[in-house]
Homo-oligomer: A and B are copies of this chain.
Amino acid sequence: MKFKIAILGAGNVAWHLASALEDAGHTITEVYARSLKSAGHITDRVYAGEPKDDLDFSTSEADIFILAVKDSAIPEVADEVILPENSILVHTSGSVPLDILNYSSASYTGIFYPLQSFTKGRKIEFDEVPLLLESDDEETLQTLKKLAKSLSPLTYTVRSKDRKAMHIAAVFASNFSNHMIRIAEEVMRRQGLDFEMLKPLIIETISKSLQLGAKAAQTGPAYREDYETLEDHHRFLSYNESVAEIYRLISQDIIDG
């Protein structure tokens, strides 16, 4: 089943979704952004699709309107958008509840959350992206499932409360593990050392963690309760109070775990 879809937003999620949807055979009717120029960056990439900088979609032919703006902008855009009859409005956020769309002009609402980290210009294989769906309306949920399955086999129905837990888990597993790598980069750079040396270790650690589970995969001075090394490392990091405290706190959590 092919849908006509309007995209509201011009960020990373909008950028990736627009072309993935078109690749899957759906039609992008319009792309809204606050400026025509931003909207144009996305419509330039899709076959059809009109760039728009106003929220009057009353004459749009789209069946589904995907709100892919940043979390804080969702209420405002949802309230202001003028949608045609029988339209479905979904947002793509991991942390915003479904009922935020209650005051919109949409007939039906839902959530279409791609659980992946998107970066502009970096191609994502959508068939490996878990899509987390929610709607209070059973028929809408079925429609969203059809849409989701046209992009990825990893399609899940998730309640708002679970979606929040999942988003928090994703922050730890993705953003925070990435930040640990960032701190490692800084420690190496400060000492004039080549970060390349650490890459085999990182690759082995993560693949081991995903294969055996993170608890079984753990090693290192905190895991061994090697307090002398922990104190020595903490002292070494005293040039950056925040990083030293992160070192202390995570080490303690590993010891307690």
Decide: A175 and B222 in contact? CB cutoff 8 A: yes
Q: Determine the distance from Cα of A180 to Cα of B129 in the docked complex, in whole angstroms.
A: 21
Residue-wise interface mask of A (171-187) relative to B, using a CB-CB cutoff of 8 A (1 in contact, 0 not): 11111111111111101
Chain A residues with a Cβ closer than 8 Å to the other chain, count: 95
Dominant SS among interface residues on chain A = helix
Q: Is the CB of A162 within 8 A of B71?
A: no
Q: Does residue A48 face the partner (Cβ distance < 8 Å to B)?
A: no
Given contacts A122-B208, A162-B193, contact A174 B187 (CB under 8 A): no
Q: How far is it, in angstroms, between the C-alpha of A170 and the C-alpha of B182 when the chains are bound? A: 11
Residue of B with least CB distance to A211: B122
Output the least CB separation between A220 and chain B (Å).
4
Q: Does A243 contact B (CB under 8 A)?
A: yes
Say which residue of B185, B191, B202, B212 sits within 8 Å of A174 (CB atoms): B202
A236 at the interface (CB under 8 A from B): yes
Integer count of this chain's copies in the complex: 2
Asked whether B169 lies within 8 Å of A204 as measured between CB atoms, the reply is no
Set of chain B residues within 8 Å of A193, measured between Cβ atoms:
158, 162, 165-166, 169
**Residue among B170, B177, B183, B208 making CB contact with A117, cutoff 8 Å:** B208
- Does A1 have its Cβ within 8 Å of any Cβ on chain B? no
> A25-33, A102-110, A137-145, A246-254: which one contacts chain B?
A246-254
Cα A117 to Cα B204 in complex, Å, equals 7
A137 to chain B, nearest CB (A): 23
Q: A165's contact among B128, B187, B246, by CB below 8 Å, is which?
A: B187
Q: Which of A206, A208, A218, A254 counts the most chain B CB atoms within 10 A?
A: A206
Interface residues of A (CB under 8 A from B): 12, 70-72, 95, 115-119, 122, 124, 128-130, 132, 154, 156, 158, 161-162, 164-185, 187-188, 190-193, 195, 197-206, 208-210, 212-224, 226, 228-229, 232-233, 236-237, 242-243, 245-247, 249-250, 252-254, 256-257
